[in-house]
Amino acid sequence: MQSYWRNFIDGEWGDGGAGRAEIVNPGTGERLAEQAMADAADVDRAVRAALRVHESGALIDMRPVERGRMVQSMGRFLTEHEEDIAHVLCLEQGKPLWEARREIAGAARYFEYYGNQAETLEGRSIPLGAGYVDFTQSEPYGVSAQIIPWNFPVEIAARSLAAGLATGNACVVKTSELTPLSSAWLAEAAVAAGFPAGAVNIFCGWGHEAGAALAGHGEARQIVFTGSVATGIKVAEAAARHIAPCVLELGGKSAAIVHEDADLDAFERDIRWGIYFNAGQICSAMSRVIVHEARHEELVERAAQVARSLSVGPGIDRDTPGLTMGAMASDTQRDRAAGMVSDAERQGARLVTGGRKMNIPGAFLEPTVLSQVTPDMSIAQEEVFGPVLSVMSFRDEAEAVRIANGTEYGLVAGVFTRDLNRASRAAQKLRAGQVFVNEWFAGGVETPFGGYGKSGYGREKGREALWNYVQTKNIAMAVR
């Protein structure tokens, strides 16, 4: 573990104009390292380096297959250094070491997938009759600005970087102030893959300074942001001033509808992954379960058993996949989640298990289950972003869908039933960008991901994501 980490701009590691920030290990509450913090001048330098690369043609002039091979090479670099990266990621973010390894593998998969996709973006010919040849081609925006959250700092950065580079964009990445350290390997991967200086720039900075400067930079032609609704609105407003398109992934309040014929033995696994993986700090977490009244009590007890079975403590001590959970990313995040649980109790929800800060060093919250939650409670409407499961009941399909759709979000949803006709009906009516049937987090890198409503717009993952990074040019030729 280095004591001081620098920013990577225009092919060089350097200090930041905004000084240094202390990075804390949320698993212990102790100081971990210091990180250089970029200011607006650093951001401008990074964007202009990326613009220089774009205008030089260094990325767009090469054959897409060659560019794709370079992208894939970045993934192989991550795989080769998985243990080193996972160790740092675990310490700075708080997740169990085995979860950190899983994140690095997921990041490498994005580079593999989008590297393969680089040569598949093709135009089309449009028949206009005799005397004309008309066709389209896809061109990169040039500079892709990417603002990355702290919950999956390597994997989410890889998701955007891989798609941006595969389509020929130069990329400027701002990491989170909480988890900037592990992103250094992405810069090293770009160098190892042979990308020219300025093609990949990665720095940390305060959101109100570096983040605002990046989102509002006139040469940032396309912006990708993952984070809160409030910050997403600010990013979109800044981008709108220079008409830059955005991809906004702004979280959710996702619901699983569990019918009376659902396999609850299998559903216990979905509870474990859906709400307690990464301590519930997942935008698509299964934060609400809407269960048929005939199975309500049974499901509540099963959920409580899952929560109580988890071994909670420092992630670095939990390196084997299993029933473990690490710290939340910070005391602030932990305290906010605990406060929302207390508010829910005051509003009439029943605390079945957990809900309290743990009496150990670090940002730990007990895995929590709440029952007797009603749709109008704040816990059923607002994103907790923590290991807190809210259970509600329903009587018929229409009521279940109405409750599931009854928030301002619309990221993912789930239906659990043996009746596929029932599942299909619900899938058509649920207002969400992705619907899981009988398995939470079904799908993968290949499947498009994005939200309705305040969950944002644009799509990540899958081939659909590539269209966010290119614009269509039409060429119409008169042939005499």
The CATH number of the domain where 211 resides is what? 3.40.605.10
For the segment 236-264, what is each residue's pLDDT rounded down to a tens digit?
A: 999 999 999 999 999 899 999 999 999 99
Q: Please state, in angstroms and as integers, the Cα–Cα distance from residue 132 to each residue in 122, 125, 135, 138, 474, following that order.
A: 20, 11, 10, 20, 13
By DSSP bridging, strand 4-5 and strand 412-416 are unpaired
Structure tokens given for 202 = 């990665």
Q: Please state, in angstroms and as integers, the Cα–Cα distance from residue 355 to each residue in 177, 231, 359, following that order.
A: 27, 27, 12
Residues 217 and 270 in one domain: no
> What is the span of the domain harbouring residue 375?
255-442
Tell me the sheet residues that pair with 365.
Answer: 357
Residues 275 and 392 in one domain: yes
Mean predicted confidence (pLDDT) in 451-465: 96
Residues 139 and 282 in one domain: no
Tell me the sheet residues that pair with 256.
Answer: 289, 414
Residues 168 and 236 in one domain: yes
- Please say if the pLDDT value at position 338 is more than 90: yes
At residue 79 the predicted structure's pLDDT band, cuts being 50, 70 and 90, is very high
Residues 195 and 298 in one domain: no
At residue 335 the predicted structure's pLDDT band, cuts being 50, 70 and 90, is very high
Q: Are 467 and 480 within 8 A, CB to CB?
A: no
For the segment 121-151, what is each residue's pLDDT rounded down to a tens digit?
A: 999 999 999 999 999 999 999 999 999 999 9
Catalytic residue among 283, 366, 383, 460: 283
Closest to 51 (Cα-Cα) out of 143, 169, 189: 143
- Please say if the pLDDT value at position 164 is more than 90: yes
> Is 249 in the active site?
yes
Provide the number of structural domains found in the chain. 2
User: What is the DSSP annotation of 166-198?
Assistant: HTT-EEEEEEPSSS-GGGHHHHHHHHHHTPPTT
**Which amino acid belongs to residue 22?**
E
Phi-psi region of 94 (alpha: psi -120 to 50; beta: other; left: phi over 0): left
Evaluate whether residue 142 is within a structural domain.
Answer: yes
> Is 283 in the active site?
yes
Catalytic residue among 82, 92, 99, 249: 249
Mean predicted confidence (pLDDT) in 370-391: 98
pLDDT, mean over the chain: 97
Residues 259 and 407 in one domain: yes
Mean predicted confidence (pLDDT) in 453-458: 96
Question: Which residues 6+ apart lie within 8 Å of 298 measured at CB?
Answer: 264
At residue 480 the predicted structure's pLDDT band, cuts being 50, 70 and 90, is confident
pTM, whole model, 2 decimals?
Answer: 0.96
The strands making up 200-204's β-sheet, listed across from edge to edge, are 12-14, 7-9, 200-204, 170-175, 143-147, 222-226, 246-249, 456-457
Evaluate whether residue 240 is within a structural domain.
Answer: yes
For the segment 80-107, what is each residue's pLDDT rounded down to a tens digit?
A: 999 999 999 999 999 999 999 999 999 9
